Structure 1
Amino acid sequence: MNIKTRKTVGQVIFLLLAFYLDGLTKWAFLNNINKGNFSILPQVMLMAIVLLSMRIDNRRQLLIYGIVFGIMYDSYYFGIIGLYTVLLPLIMIGIDHYKFLFIKANIGYEMSIYFLALTFLQTGIYVLERLLQQTNTDVLDFITYVLGPTLLWNMIAFFILYVPLANLSDWLVKYRRENK
């Protein structure tokens, strides 16, 4: 197996582990913390996808990752195929389209991109659920009780997980061999 194939397999395993960690945190929040009016939706997999999207230059690979992991996410968590299947590739292609504006990726840029991607994802899910008549929550309740707490928790988690996830995603994307 050549180094490019190993890196691609490593990226898929990285996203699968983020998918699993996302499920664990969702389970912990749904069972322990989300008992009042507020609803916090952890998005660790989206964090990993944003970090990889900032580093991968192949748009076709990003699109494949977005569709495959969107279908997995929809089939495992929602049961409605289409929410993440549509929104994740849009987010990844949007990040790829505008990442040339940034001179060097750092925590400030990546946090702002993650914030925008998370806002787009949660708002898109809300709009699609309203269109499919899966929810009857009004917009102000969605912003107050779902979007705000979700953004706050995920920004705190981003600060905590940024260094290890960014270093791992950097290592998984670079194809250079070191000379010894």
Structure 2
Amino acid sequence: MPIKTQKMIGQVVFIMLAFYFDGLMKWSFLNNMNKGTMSIVPQLMLMVLVMLTTRLDSRRTILVYGIVFGVIYDSYYFGIIGLYTVLLPLILVGIDHYKFLFTKTSVGYETSIYFLSLTALETGVFLLEKLFKLASADIGDFITYILGPTLLWNIIVFFILYVPFANLSDWLVKYRRGTK
């Protein structure tokens, strides 16, 4: 099996493990914290997808990852195909479109991209839920009780996991010279 195929399989496994740990984190840690009005949504899968997007060169691969994992996320958490299926590929292609502005990935760059992606994703999901009458909260409650705690939790987790995830992402994207 060519090294490129092995690396792509590794990328998919990396994203799936992040998706699994999203659910595990939600179930084990956050169920106790989400009992009141506050709601925290862990987004490890988005973190991994953002890190891979900043390193991958193929927009087609990025788009496929966004659609496939958007469908998986929607089918597992929402039961409605469309929220993440639409928003995730749009965000990832947007990141890919503007990554040429930065010459090299860095902690600050990836933190800001992840922060903006997370804000856009959660706001987009909220607006689509409001559009389809799936959410009853107003915008002030959304910002205070969902978006704020979600951003805080995920940025803390991002800083804790940045070094191992960045190193693994770099390793999964780089191929031997001449086989790219």
Q: Give the corresponding residue for 1:94.
A: 94
Gaps of 5+ in 2: none
Count of aligned residue pairs for this structure pair: 177
The answer to whether the 8 A contact 1:29-1:40 is kept is: no
Alpha-carbon shift at residue 128 of structure 1 (Å) = 0.3
Give SS of 1:41's match: coil
Q: Give the corresponding residue for 1:42.
A: 42
The answer to whether the 8 A contact 1:53-1:92 is kept is: yes
User: Equivalent residues in 2 for 1:54-73 (5 A)?
Assistant: 54-73=54-73
Alpha-carbon shift at residue 31 of structure 1 (Å) = 2.2
Q: What code does the residue aligned with 1:98 have?
A: Y
TM-score normalised by the chain length of structure 1: 0.96
Alpha-carbon shift at residue 30 of structure 1 (Å) = 4.5
Between the two proteins, what is the percent identity of the paired residues?
70
1:19-64 CA distances to partner (integer Å, 9 max, x unpaired)?
Answer: 1011111112452111122111110100000000000010000000
Q: Give the corresponding residue for 1:18.
A: 18
Gaps of 5+ in 1: none
Alpha-carbon shift at residue 96 of structure 1 (Å) = 0.3
TM-score normalised by the chain length of structure 2: 0.96
Query: Runs in 1 of length 4+ with deviation above 2 angstroms?
Result: 28-31
1:62-98 CA distances to partner (integer Å, 9 max, x unpaired)?
Answer: 0000000000000011101001100110111001000
Q: Give the corresponding residue for 2:138.
A: 138
| CA–CA separation in structure 1 for the residues paired with 2:114 and 2:95 | 10
